[in-house]
Amino acid sequence: MQTADVVIIGGGIVGSSIAWHLSEAGCRNVLMVERESHQGKGSTGKSMGGVRAQFATAPNIQMSLYSIPFYAAFEERLGHPSGYRDQGYLFVATKPSHLEYLQTNQALQEKLGLKQVRMLARTEIVAMVPQLRADDVLGGSFCPTDGFVDPYSVMVGFTTRACEQGAALWRSTEVTAIHHNGTNVTGVQTTRGPVSTPVVVNAAGAWAAEAAALAGVDLPVKPMRRMLVPTEPFDLVSHEVPMVIDMANGFHFRPESLGFLLAWNDPEETPGYKMNFDPGFIEKVLVRAADRVPCFENLAVNPKRAWAGLYEMSPDHHAIIGPVQELTGFFCANGFSGHGVMHSPATGKMVADLIVHGKTAVVDRVEMLSPARFAKGELLHETAIL
Ligand SMILES: Cc1cc2nc3c(=O)[nH]c(=O)nc-3n(C[C@H](O)[C@H](O)[C@H](O)COP(=O)(O)OP(=O)(O)OC[C@H]3O[C@@H](n4cnc5c(N)ncnc54)[C@H](O)[C@@H]3O)c2cc1C
């Protein structure tokens, strides 16, 4: 029978990062199992590629503090481009409560070692993006090391190097059962045959609850549709602008190719495996785009190029990372709630550390992200969700 030291369910950006970090830690008999014929068909290939450290809680900030410098050095380290562009994230506040929120966050970010975040006055925001309608803008915050990456390229880079260091990737193969003896993981059943292993990592993205259920584990991760609208080429706004977030309604955009990528999280969206793009979304996002950037009323959009994908929502919108207490050898790397690309380097390092050493220094208190927190009622609180 095939044996592996670690089996990873899911070959997206998170599974790939875990495989690479494990191989770097000397754990090389790693098997990544992906049910699709190609990697990236889950959320990774649908992402907006935004990376930011401007968060409101220590675990999220600290995961970004590992991940963003990692992306900056990715090509040097892995010999493969990450596509990292440090164009920043600009949060634009129109309510006093939002401004206070940004200020509070900035104080925590600074305390944790992120010194580059600046609070901006309206005039500075307008200088940065002159086309913004700013009559109601009270201020904002900007971090120049935030930006964007190419998620697909990152995933391929992690996978290629992990495989060179001994890991294996089985594509078109589904994990259909997780075997255990009551206390310990003993193996998995796949559509390509059984694999004996003492460690299984759940990196199944929006399908994580189903993967956990294969081991009889209840994992509170729900799929939530998110849609993105790329525009046709447009040059009335500079392509050097940062990711801009209108905190009044959550509309955000960033440059993409010769046009822009428009996003807005519809509060009426409900959980479910809805992968279809709803053409009615275009009108909704364009109204918000033209409201904040009046010249965006001239944007042209080809509905056939727009797409939908799934966020993997956890109850407190934080990742679920760590061992499952009731089943030794079963680890979670789930529930990123829309931040799995930006946090994939940190997740890979944390999961590899936990498997190999039983502890990690990426975040101060990794138990805050443990799957056990839900049963204990120890949820985290993050309100800056995009
Ligand atoms: C529209 C949109 C915009 C986004 N924007 C951003 C952003 O700007 N920044 C950011 O950080 N994140 C963003 N995200 C979120 C990000 O894409 C995800 O958090 C991230 O891709 C999760 O990676 P993953 O590897 O965990 O999941 P996935 O990429 O979904 O990979 C999981 C894989 O597991 C496989 N799988 C599932 N079950 C099994 C099984 N039983 N056997 C074998 N294989 C299985 C699936 O086929 C899938 O390929 C966005 C997401 C969407 C949809």
User: Domain ranges in the chain?
Assistant: 2-49+151-221+315-376, 88-146+223-313
Atom of ligand 1 nearest to the CA of 339: 11
pLDDT on residue 383: 66
CB atoms within 10 A of CB 255: 21
Ligand 1: residue whose CA is nearest its atom 38: 204
CA atoms within 13 A on the CB side of 384: 29
Atom of ligand 1 nearest to the CA of 334: 26
Decide: 221 in ligand 1 pocket, CB within 6 A: no
Q: What is the DSSP string of 135-184?
A: TT--EEEEETT-EE--HHHHHHHHHHHHHHTT-EEE-S--EEEEEESSSB
pLDDT on residue 203: 99
Decide: 44 in ligand 1 pocket, CB within 6 A: yes
CA of 330 to the centre of ligand 1 (A): 20
CATH of 88-146+223-313 given 2.40.50.140, 3.30.70.2190, 3.30.9.10, 3.40.80.10? 3.30.9.10
Q: Which residues contact 304 (CB under 8 A, 6 or more apart)?
A: none
- Domain 2-49+151-221+315-376 and domain 88-146+223-313, same fold? Reply is no
**For 2-49+151-221+315-376, which CATH class?**
alpha beta
The answer to whether 119 and 141 are in contact (CB under 8 A) is yes
d(CA 209, CA 162): 26
Decide: 336 in ligand 1 pocket, CB within 6 A: yes
Provide the whole-model pTM: 0.98
pLDDT on residue 386: 52
Q: Average pLDDT by consecutive 10-residue portion of the chain (386 residues)?
A: 97 98 97 98 98 97 98 98 98 96 96 97 98 98 98 98 98 98 97 98 98 98 98 98 97 97 96 97 98 97 96 97 97 98 98 98 97 94 62
Decide: 171 in ligand 1 pocket, CB within 6 A: no
CB atoms within 10 A of CB 163: 17
pLDDT on residue 381: 79
Decide: 228 in ligand 1 pocket, CB within 6 A: yes
Residue 324 to residues 221, 273, 332, 367: CA-CA distances in angstroms?
A: 14, 25, 7, 11
